[in-house]
Structure 1
Amino acid sequence: MAGFLTTHVLDTAQGCPGKGIKIDLYAISGDTRTYLRSLVTNGDGRTDSHILPQDEFKTGTYELVFHVGAYFDAAGIDLPEPKFLDTVPLRFGMSEEAHYHVPLLVSPYSFSTYRGS
């Protein structure tokens, strides 16, 4: 099976999927950060397509940047400026041709991630 990358966002403060969150994907090579694409989460907090599809998959280091500040603004959550979390970058490695699932669990003041399935 060729590899691919998926993600999703769960809003742990409100107990719901993170709908409408922009996610940017970058490839990392040494000190070089190369933009690959942006997607937006749907009503289930997932992207409608793989964030890195099989036909573009390569092992290496990547970064997902989740634009959660705009999401919390749109949800009407009153936060002080500057926000504690505005963008959340997650840098990770993919070392084999496999399905990598990298979710984000987020609130206005914390986040966590893990390698999912």
Structure 2
Amino acid sequence: MGRLSTHVLDTVNGRPAPGVGLTLDLLAADGSRRRIIETTTNADGRTDQPLLSGEALKPGTYELSFAIGAYFRNLGTALPEPAFLDVVPLRFGIADPNGHYHVPLLASPWSYSTYRGS
């Protein structure tokens, strides 16, 4: 059974990032989007459940958006206004609905990276 999960890591403080708001949208070929989920990371920087699993995981183009600016503001990090990074969008494709797609985000107020994890 396929699933999509995420994990947010705060690279400034060297720990998971709890309380990061995130959304997941399915993008259509015509440019429209459909919101699938809106949630927040838990104490381990993960979501309590997979973002998608089983029959809900379909091939297509998706976008995960992470509210990194709000996360660092809530920690009391001094950020310029507007913040250099506020919402970080990650656009990716799912080809195999039976695969495990893990999309981690490693973030600071100034940079981010991602990869397909396991």
Tell me whether the two structures share a fold, i.e. TM-score over 0.5: yes
For 2:24, give the aligned amino acid.
Answer: L
Once residues 91 and 21 of structure 1 are traced to their aligned partners in structure 2, the CA distance between those partners, rounded to angstroms, is 18
Match of 2:69 in 1: 69
Question: Kindly, what percent of the aligned residue pairs are identical?
Answer: 53
| TM-score normalized with structure 2 length | 0.95
TM-score, normalised with respect to structure 1:
0.96
User: 1:4 is matched with which residue?
Assistant: 3
AA of the residue aligned to 1:17: P
**What is the match of residue 107 of structure 2?**
106
Q: What is the identity, as a one-letter code, of the residue corresponding to 2:104?
A: P
SS in 1 for 2:79: coil
Unmatched segments (≥5 aa) in structure 2 = none
Tell me the number of residue pairs that the alignment of Structure 1 and Structure 2 aligns: 116
Measure, in 1, the Cα distance between the counterparts of 2:53 and 2:2. Answer: 8
CA RMSD of aligned residues (A): 0.8
Q: What SS does structure 1 have at the residue aligned with 2:113?
A: strand
- The alpha carbon displacement at 1:55 in A equals 3.3
Q: Structure 1 regions of 5+ residues with no counterpart? A: none
Runs of 4+ in structure 1 deviating by more than 3 angstroms, as ranges, are none
* 3-state SS of paired residue (1:35): strand
